[in-house]
Amino acid sequence: MYNITNLDNNTGYGSGLPDYKPSGHIGIILNKRHAYIGKYKASTDTEILLQLDDNNRNNFLNGEDNSAQSYIRGGSDSARPVYDVWIKEPEYYYKGVNDYQNGVRYIFFSTNDKSDELPTVDGTIPEKIAAKG
């Protein structure tokens, strides 16, 4: 069990809470994240990426009968070289925030478009917080 709590839907770490379920921006990020197998093509010095099925990464997205495992096993069989596995991360923004007064750290994610208006924030430092008591 991870010590992550989703305050939006009351899931995750904690006594009596159901298993963690992502929502909001984190849910969008996870839904847009995909895995690929990279196959190097020496003749063109490029790597071809084949997307894996999000629900079963042993299979390709296009439903091919070939198991993706046959591409990544490699080993002593020189006919089956080892291939790279890639994760495509969607574009998103993140920001860590330290709550010095309460000794808590937060991380915030946003999948909003770059053109969205960004908030203005007055910075503060731990000494100012400590001085206020």
pLDDT digits (tens, 9 = 90+) for 65-108: 555 556 555 545 555 556 778 899 999 989 999 999 998 888 88
Extents of the domains making up the chain: 22-88, 93-132
% of the chain exceeding 90 in pLDDT: 18
In the predicted model, what is the mean pLDDT of the chain?
A: 79
Q: Which two tokens stand for residue 81?
A: 């070289």
How far apart are the C-alpha atoms of 78 and 83, rounded to whole Å?
12
